[in-house]
Structure 1
């Protein structure tokens, strides 16, 4: 692609023929734009650190093109790719099937025929025509073990541990409305334990939160910096930090595989180069790159049995996959309910749980009636899977009305709990 290095336009020519000047200026701007497009632009929900190693290895390949990344949240990428700016994006790399579902429904993605069956089995059926699975990850707990040892606390292993009173003020996590990887993790808990027990676990653990982080990798950074002791996150953010002797990562006992997907945009200027990059990721060499701990991920093809990461890869692949149709159907419900129940009332929630923990410690017995008040939710298991009930969350006015009713419900539950606690004094 030719680079325009200098354009000399005589002053007399400009004065005599402004039309010629305008045409030449347009040509200059066109050349600059094309020069900048001599690259693949990849929109991704991952942090720059999570993609840097893969891109560096790709760019060592013969005839590879430069890849520039746009690192955004899922909602930000939705807005970007729904606009005319999407014409400058060639690839989308994400662990969010929700984002890809939205883009596919709005005809923003190109079909990708001929993807290996082994990888496509990991892709939700509804996006299988456009998305390709190139790696997998799992969910677990990133722990600042030095921080916990100073507090003389054991290392937690599962969600139930996070709800224990001794971890009060130690927990960090993100919100499903801010992080799609967090949404997948929350939905995984709800599906594994059931709607009601899953929310009981989340609300119990929420009493130990320090804050709600805006991004999943923000949770990892805060724990690394000692601003929290433990947080549930996806492994690829954790694994990139494990050269720090203060940190340890433990997978949830029932952690299932969370695929990393890639897709080519419908308006890609370089679809062949984009496809070549995907083929590299799926090749034995590319899968080896993804198997390297520098990516924090696992390849989609089985690792050799003597590989130290083989056992965990198999555990992830052997767990039942998420019910993706259900996840996509109730996406807005889970996001709005989490924020209404936890994010937007975190201060009051922490105060109530602190009071409950104090009362149980003083009385040397559990207080199940008060716990039931603090863990109740205003949505039944049947409603959480009812298409008619879930439709209202696609209509702004109806969703807002429902949220207001939920706010009143949680306020009433908390008032009842505080009244009972006061009567125990």
Structure 2
């Protein structure tokens, strides 16, 4: 049950969550079959919306936070809003970033990949992509959907997994190249999945639990990225919870065999943190995720604002012009039957170096609103100048 009111009733838990109502409904339905269970209402909002709500004085009726966003939990912990959780099981806590390990509990894992509308691609006579690099190809122009790191922490983690695997420069070259194939930037990560299901796009990078809920549609398929990383689902209890014992009981349910089964059911689309039996159809992928190298969460939290603001300045705020430039490049390369690496390098040039992306002094500038706006203006001028150079060179090609 979902509501936008947080007026708690007696013995009723309120869970603030970044997940869609569909993603939490099955878990809650299983909880409510348990002895002594209480009614749960969910408040489904974006991470930034929940930050604002929980920073305000009106959060006293929220008991738990359920999210895949370590950034949200880091913010709440820094503001002393979360209760300590000292006795979480080791197999859970090894998945939790060290900075939030005292308050957050990992209860499930997910990962990232491509949700594909096979029918749309078959109609275009296109092969199904399998990696980030595939998405850069000119053939996928006008087929892609994606969200922004500033709008979706799930998408932020997905982008960071690419940047950490390919490196800062090459990772951004991949992102800027595939941006030319985007249809639009979706406001929510589960909006990408919904639009692909409805045929408004053909391919989109998404988290698996949103995709798995849709795979009863024969037109849809999901492919994990090569070297997929685990993205935990966390639960944390607020210090201000009016029903701390009931909240604790719900967390213990999620960690129990029954709760783990509910979390890993196809109605939820996640993987349990307890290794499945080898004969389970999902055991191989779960094993890969549980043993994958973790993301560098310290780096993610350190440069969170940089990645968000750089993505929006480079892509979200100038998507029509970006698509025009890449379309002109793709057409020129097709006409000349050869790549144009110098023009590509202009369209993928970056105003922030790898050294700056990890420099605390550079990153600290983004904490100051006026300085952050000035930097974004400088980045905007940088991208505009390089795009003008690229267009001029394209126009002068024989």
TM-score (norm 2): 0.98
Q: 2:193 aligns with which of 197, 220, 231?
A: 220
Q: 1:75 aligns with which of 48, 71, 75?
A: 48
1:376, distance to aligned residue in structure 2 (A): 0.5
In the alignment, what sits opposite 2:370?
A: 397
In the alignment, what sits opposite 1:352?
A: 325
Q: 2:209 aligns with which of 219, 236, 256?
A: 236
1:254, distance to aligned residue in structure 2 (A): 1.1
Q: Which deviates further from its counterpart, 317-326 or 183-192?
A: 317-326
Q: 1:164 aligns with which of 133, 137, 153?
A: 137
Q: 2:379 aligns with which of 388, 396, 406?
A: 406
Q: Which runs of 4+ in 1 moved over 4 A?
A: none
In the alignment, what sits opposite 2:39?
A: 66
Look up the SS of the partner of 1:111 in the other structure: coil
Matched, 1:45 2:32: no
1:315, distance to aligned residue in structure 2 (A): 1.1
- Partner Cα distance (1:105, 1:312) in 2: 34
Structure number, greater radius of gyration: 1
In the alignment, what sits opposite 1:94?
A: 67
- Partner Cα distance (1:35, 1:316) in 2: 37
Residue deviations 1:229-254, cap 9 Å, x none?
A: 00000000000000011100000011
Residue deviations 1:338-366, cap 9 Å, x none?
A: 00000000000000000000000000000
List aligned pairs for 1:377-396, cutoff 5 A: 377-396=350-369
Matched, 1:277 2:273: no
- Partner Cα distance (1:89, 1:371) in 2: 49
1:34, distance to aligned residue in structure 2 (A): 8.3
TM-score (norm 1): 0.92
Matched, 1:299 2:272: yes
Q: 2:58 aligns with which of 85, 90, 95?
A: 85
Matched, 1:133 2:102: no
Matched, 1:367 2:367: no
In the alignment, what sits opposite 1:418?
A: 391
Question: 5+ unaligned residues in a row in structure 2: which ranges?
Answer: 1-5
In the alignment, what sits opposite 1:15?
A: none
- Partner Cα distance (1:417, 1:291) in 2: 48
1:37, distance to aligned residue in structure 2 (A): 3.9
1:316, distance to aligned residue in structure 2 (A): 1.2
Give the direction of change, closer, same or farther, for the CA distance of 1:142–1:35 in structure 2 (3 Å limit): closer
Residue deviations 1:356-412, cap 9 Å, x none?
A: 000000000000000000001100000001111100111101101100000000000
List aligned pairs for 1:117-266, cutoff 5 A: 117-266=90-239
- Partner Cα distance (1:37, 1:81) in 2: 21
In the alignment, what sits opposite 2:298?
A: 325
In the alignment, what sits opposite 2:3?
A: none
Look up the SS of the partner of 2:146 in the other structure: strand
1:71, distance to aligned residue in structure 2 (A): 0.2
In the alignment, what sits opposite 1:21?
A: none
Question: 5+ unaligned residues in a row in structure 1: which ranges?
Answer: 1-32
1:113, distance to aligned residue in structure 2 (A): 1.4
1:35, distance to aligned residue in structure 2 (A): 7.1
